[in-house]
Amino acid sequence: MAISSKTSSVSESNGPATTGDGFRYILLASEGRAFTDAVIARAEELLSATPRARIHVFTIARVYGSGFGLPNPGLLPTKREWEGQRKSVASVIRRLRKDGIKADGRVIGTRQGMQRICKEAEKEGCDAIVMGADPARSRLMRPFMWSQEPQRVSRRAKVPVFLVTAE
């Protein structure tokens, strides 16, 4: 299913759209990109009106790899990158709480964004995942691009995934 508007398009995979009441627990995830207003608004829109409904904000500080099979400090996220991700999560949580939504969040460092996002959704017991995304690329280019992590999540997750792309 694809819904489009002037500023963004939303695609959904892995299951039906929201039930009449919406979802009770949503994972608002990012592979490191900033949370846009459209992504936050989509998560709020999908959330049910029950008092127990909440959003878990989750983002990744990217680890770039290892050098010759050994951990290399130059490939780890810098203090500035960690702080930027923490500020991003904190500002989204403040905004959601201001809108009357229960929210919490965390930041982790990993090279395996898709696996960690799917594992976080499963661990937290989330009903759906909402992510910002770039347009899908060709099958040849997808495996080599970190920006295609949301599409990998949508293919692998066991819960519905809503990707919001800027047009």
For residue 92, the domain's CATH number is 3.40.50.620
For 65, left (φ over 0), alpha (ψ -120 to 50), or beta? left
104 within a domain of the structure (yes/no): yes
List, for residues 66-113, the tens digit of each pLDDT value: 666 666 666 788 888 889 999 999 999 999 999 999 999 999 988 888
State whether the Cα torsion 122-155-167-61 is positive or negative.
positive
| Centroid of chain to Cα 135 | 15
- Please choose, from the candidates 64, 59, 63, 21, the residue with its C-alpha nearest in 3D space to the C-alpha of residue 40: 59
1 within a domain of the structure (yes/no): no
2 within a domain of the structure (yes/no): no
* Per-residue pLDDT at 144: 61
Predicted TM-score (pTM) above 0.75:
yes
Number of domains in the chain: 1
**Domain of 40, in residue numbers:** 7-166
pLDDT score of 34 more than 50:
yes
